[in-house]
Amino acid sequence: MFEHMCPAGHITEHYVSYEMTVVPCTVCGTDAGRIISAPRVELDGTDPIYVSAYDRWAKRHEDKAKQERKQNQA
Ligand SMILES: [Zn+2]
């Protein structure tokens, strides 16, 4: 179960596979990007590029967490 937020700011929960980072908002039908316990970011809600920008941010966030786990194990 993942939370997604659409450009209009609706936060919805979806049962989707991990790979599905974008789903249609159940409120307004716009593409909603996944939220990964992220701090609220300033987004231009009308620009679809925000989804990929958000995904890049999420990827960096995950990579950093992985690195930190590795360092802790070493
Ligand atoms: Zn919406």
Q: What is the pLDDT of residues 1-22, one digit of tens each?
A: 889 999 999 999 998 888 889 9
pLDDT at 73: 75
Residue 59 Cα to ligand 1 middle (Å): 23
pLDDT at 65: 86
**27 and 52 share one domain:** no
Residue 48 Cα to ligand 1 middle (Å): 13
**48 and 28 share one domain:** no
Residues of the chain with confidence (pLDDT) below 50 = 38
For residue 39, is it within any domain?
no
pLDDT at 39: 53
Residue 33 Cα to ligand 1 middle (Å): 10
For residue 22, is it within any domain?
yes
Q: Are 3 and 34 in contact (CB under 8 A)?
A: yes
Residue 1 Cα to ligand 1 middle (Å): 18
For residue 15, is it within any domain?
yes
Instruction: Say how many domains are in the chain.
Output: 2
pLDDT at 42: 60
User: Which chain residues have CB less than 5 Å from ligand 1, an ion?
Assistant: 6, 8, 10, 25, 27-28
**48 and 29 share one domain:** no
> Which helix (H) or strand (E) covers residue 72, if one does?
helix 49-73
For residue 8, is it within any domain?
yes
Q: What residue numbers bound the domain in which 55 lies?
A: 44-74
